[in-house]
Amino acid sequence: MRAATVPGFAGRWELIEVPMVSAGPGQVVIRVRASGLCHNDVLCGDGAFGGRLPMNPPIFGHEAAGEVVEVGAGVTTRKVGDRVGTTWVQALCGRCDYCRRTNPPLTGMAGTGCRGPAALSGLTVQGGHAEYFVATAASTVLLPDELSFDLAAPVLCAGYTAWSALRAGRPQPGERVAVVGIGGLGHLAVQFASACGYQTIAVTRTPDKHELISSLGADQVVADGKQLAEVGGADVILVTATAAQAGVEALPGLRDEGRLVMASIDPSGPFNLGTNSQLWARRQQIIGASHDGLPYLAEALDLVATGRVTPMIEQFPADRVNEAVGLLRDGRIRFRAVINY
């Protein structure tokens, strides 16, 4: 079978032949039809996590959608032919203090706090940038019939995270929601907020995205936190930029009692509030968001399946995966690259 890998975690993706996978107990094999390219895949392939991920060869990807082609021993919830999506946390040890307190497969959680062996797609076990992919049956989700694999794929991480972030921000009726950084996550966050009826403001550094973002439902588009404040600010700011500091830079636009929700993963950048932070006086909160529970993923998939939110995708055949990674790294994808294996 063919899979994409990054020799030496040196940033160059290539397609190689690897041995065909099979399903162990509790697992399914999925014929991957569409696999979204997340900024985290780029980080992994660039060696941002030290190039020490225990996979040989490393195969990234946690946004794979396809059909079940094999079912392992003991699996009762999935059958051959099921249309499924897979996500990041496949299984955790279930025994450490983190697992005992959080029960992550059900409650969500990124799973990185697990002290035992954890199966995290594209991090500790091979992920979905391949023709076939093995996942625990329990971590797969059934896709709504009317949802194509190509549109489902970006929901499995980008949409899941964006929707979880909106949920984490607890917007109230009549409140205003801003989204900082309009990429894979951000363009879905804008649509989710708008679909829920919130006044939605996009904050982008990229002028040529303004028109497109307005067409996705943003009521206003601004360039930074200062401009966000000038147009009235936001009660909830969802930070989906690759640089965490973009969240701090948006703070001038956060209203009193507002919630700044951080979805960015920025392994090397700063997140520095500085000495003039008025967080305390303005009773503002900073909240983290990730994949916050499979029920939220189901909600996000339903919003897409019913057409209220539509991922904008650029499709690439498998042999152009390295080109897609380059375009994503350069900020030139509008807005999610989907690889067809």
- How many residues at the interface with ligand NAP, by CB under 6 A? 30
Distances (CA, A) of 30 to 49, 66, 210, 283: 27, 6, 38, 47
> CA-to-CA distance for 139 and 121, rounded, in angstroms?
10
> CA-to-CA distance for 210 and 203, rounded, in angstroms?
9
Q: Which among Zn ion, ligand NAP, none contacts residue 263 (Cβ within 5 to 8 A by kind)? A: ligand NAP
Q: Is 136 in the site for ligand NAP (CB under 6 A)?
A: no
Q: How far is the CB of 162 from ligand NAP (least distance, A)?
A: 8
Q: Which of 102, 206, 310, 322 binds ligand NAP (CB under 6 A)?
A: 206
Scanning 93-101, 136-144, 175-183, 227-235 for contacts with ligand NAP by CB under 6 A, the matching segment is 175-183
> CA-to-CA distance for 41 and 141, rounded, in angstroms?
21
Q: Which of 12, 205, 210, 334 binds ligand NAP (CB under 6 A)?
A: 205
Q: Is 190 in the site for ligand NAP (CB under 6 A)?
A: no
Residues 13-72 that bind ligand NAP (CB under 6 A): 38-40
Sheet holding 199-203, edge to edge: 220-222, 199-203, 176-180, 234-239, 254-262, 285-288
- The closest of 60, 69, 62 to 31, measured between CA atoms, is 69
Q: Is 218 in the site for ligand NAP (CB under 6 A)?
A: no
- DSSP for 276-341 reads T--HHHHT-EEEE-S---HHHHHHHHHHHHTTSS---EEEEEGGGHHHHHHHHHTT--SSEEEEE-
52 close to 95: Cβ distance less than 8 angstroms:
no
Q: How far is the CB of 218 from ligand NAP (least distance, A)?
A: 11
**Burial class, 299, CB count within 10 angstroms (exposed 0-12 / middle 13-18 / buried 19+):** middle
Letter for the amino acid at 340? N
Binding mask 104-133 for ligand NAP (x = CB under 6 A): ------x-----------------------
Q: How far is the CB of 39 from Zn ion (least distance, A)?
A: 7
In the chain, the largest separation of any two C-alpha atoms, in whole Å, equals 59
Q: Is 86 in the site for ligand NAP (CB under 6 A)?
A: no
Q: Which of 28, 92, 202, 251 binds Zn ion (CB under 5 A)?
A: 92
- How many residues at the interface with Zn ion, by CB under 5 A? 9
- CA 43 to chain CA centroid, Å, is 13
Q: Is 157 in the site for Zn ion (CB under 5 A)?
A: yes
Residues that bind ligand NAP (CB under 6 A): 38-40, 110, 157-158, 161, 181-186, 204-206, 209, 240-243, 246, 263-266, 290-291, 328, 331
Residues that bind Zn ion (CB under 5 A): 38, 40, 92-93, 96, 99, 114, 116, 157
